[in-house]
Amino acid sequence: MAIATVNPTSGKTEMIIEPHTRDEVLDRIGQAAAAAATLRTTTFAQRAEWMRRAADFLDDQASGLAELITVEMGKPIAQSLAEVRKSARAMRFYADKAELFLADAPLHDPSAVNASRAWTRYEPLGVILAVMPWNYPLWQVIRFAAPALMAGNAGVLKHASNVPQCAMALDSLFDNAGFPAGSLRTLLIGGADVAEVIADPRIAAVTLTGSEPAGRSVASIAGQHIKKAVLELGGSDPFIVLRSADVAAAAETAVRARVGNNGQSCIAGKRFIVHTDVYDEFAQEFTRLMAELTVGDPLDPTTDVGPLATEAGREDLVELVEDARAKGATILTGGHAPDRPGWFYAPTVIADLPDDARLIQEEAFGPVASLYRARDDDDALRLANQTGFGLSSAVWTTDADQERRFVAELDAGAVFINGMTVSYQELPFGGIKRSGYGRELAAVGQREFCNLKTVWKA
């Protein structure tokens, strides 16, 4: 895949960027390693000052960066701006909290292990490789980089090949804020070159956010080199509406959960599972709202849904919908690509899926919702848990017993009650099953790339 900006709204190639040569890659890893050696000697206060300055840079450049995101991957401009602001907030969060999250923790009864004192401390690991996707070109990187750098690690970034300008903006961000030069270095390389980077002895660990095949490959190479990996992979999250729910509110939120980021979010509600008693009411309202969305130029602030990021991504979505249609599913709205340039797809709702429809098991990465009628609560849980994914989930209910049961029995890394899944820096984020392993964000995410050192003193 060429490293290039192809504007998904027009389909036109705006910029092609030469990949880094092997020597350049080795040099850039060296810069990050030198930065890591310096960073681990700096104080939290010093790193926090640099991190806050970097956050200020993001805020100062917010409108330009937002436009760049929209041009490279097609997100509606208001959402791009929100992504920049959210990234700056996460940077300030870790500037404020890192020292607390990584504080030494005393063992409460050292005499039990024959010590006068015993405690644990967190130390940085060194240079962490981040392999990142295009769907949140800034946020995905910052939610790795802010905690990693505040812990005293450095990073090298292999960003998705279709967002090279965002990748290069990130390359200079931390240097300009005062961090040791090279604290986050972008490597302009393809997926096939990642194996050699993981193998480099200067790389301590790897984090990947992306698809299952990429995760499988990166994790197995990391395993060969006994290097830690965190994997944030795909999802096909259930959005469950039970009999006691506020159906109108659920339908309104369901639309946002499905079409935010043009439907290309790992934590989007993708499968809408509705109790039979409220199914017709929900289906009617949800379909009406999906059909009313404005599809168009993502730089136009009145647009709700822009194009998909790539032509290949749209092709995958078309195949999933056509598979369902051919097998007899009902298309309630959408189900086609509008006749215009760019990689657009109409907001779509599909019901009556037969058991062998690919949409039941596979992730729809675009504005396509599948609807399921649940006979009862047992059936809703069965439908929710029937995929190989386990990222997040949402359940709508006003019944306390139902709430307890679904929180306990949903196979997912998170459950959102009477809302939609969102990622906040305060909340641990990550999945189970084929959605990956490890966590990002909050304290637990920051500790993933630290050495938890036990200290024992006679």
Residues engaged in binding ligand NAP (CB under 6 A) = 1, 131-135, 158-161, 190-191, 194, 209-211, 214, 217-218, 232-235, 266, 363, 365, 391
CB 385 within 8 A of CB 427: no
Q: What's phi and psi for 433, nearest 5 deg?
A: 50, -135
- Tokens for 332, please give them: 């309630």
In whole angstroms, the minimum distance from the beta carbon of 240 to ligand NAP comes to: 20
Catalytic residues: 232, 266
Q: Find the residue with minimal CB distance to ligand NAP.
A: 210
Q: What's phi and psi for 331, nearest 5 deg?
A: -90, 110
In whole angstroms, the minimum distance from the beta carbon of 383 to ligand NAP comes to: 20
CB closer to ligand NAP, 159 vs 243: 159
Q: Which amino acid is at 65?
A: L
CB closer to ligand NAP, 154 vs 194: 194
In whole angstroms, the minimum distance from the beta carbon of 317 to ligand NAP comes to: 12
Task: Give per-residue burial for 105-129: e unless 16+ CB within 10 Å, then b.
Answer: eebeeeeeeeeeebeeebebbbbbb
Angle at 185 between CA 184 and CA 189, to 5 degrees: 140
In whole angstroms, the minimum distance from the beta carbon of 398 to ligand NAP comes to: 30
CB closer to ligand NAP, 155 vs 180: 155
In whole angstroms, the minimum distance from the beta carbon of 1 to ligand NAP comes to: 5
CB closer to ligand NAP, 20 vs 158: 158
CB 206 within 8 A of CB 222: yes
- Tokens for 195, please give them: 């194996």
CB closer to ligand NAP, 39 vs 194: 194
CB closer to ligand NAP, 198 vs 242: 198
In whole angstroms, the minimum distance from the beta carbon of 337 to ligand NAP comes to: 19
Q: What's phi and psi for 99, nearest 5 deg?
A: -65, -35
Helical ranges in 102-224 per DSSP H: 139-150, 164-176, 194-199, 212-224
User: CA-to-CA distance for 10 and 418, rounded, in angstroms?
Assistant: 38
Q: How far is CA 171 from the centre of its chain?
A: 20
User: CA-to-CA distance for 206 and 29, rounded, in angstroms?
Assistant: 13
Would you give the DSSP letter of residue 439? -
Q: What's phi and psi for 17, nearest 5 deg?
A: -115, 135
CB 176 within 8 A of CB 199: no
CB closer to ligand NAP, 225 vs 453: 225
- Tokens for 109, please give them: 């009864």
CB closer to ligand NAP, 131 vs 395: 131
Collapsed DSSP state (helix, strand, coil) of residue 84: helix
Nearest to 299, CA basis, from 8, 3, 11? 8
Lateral strand order in the sheet of 269-275: 330-333, 348-351, 368-374, 269-275, 237-241, 394-396, 416-417
Collapsed DSSP state (helix, strand, coil) of residue 318: helix
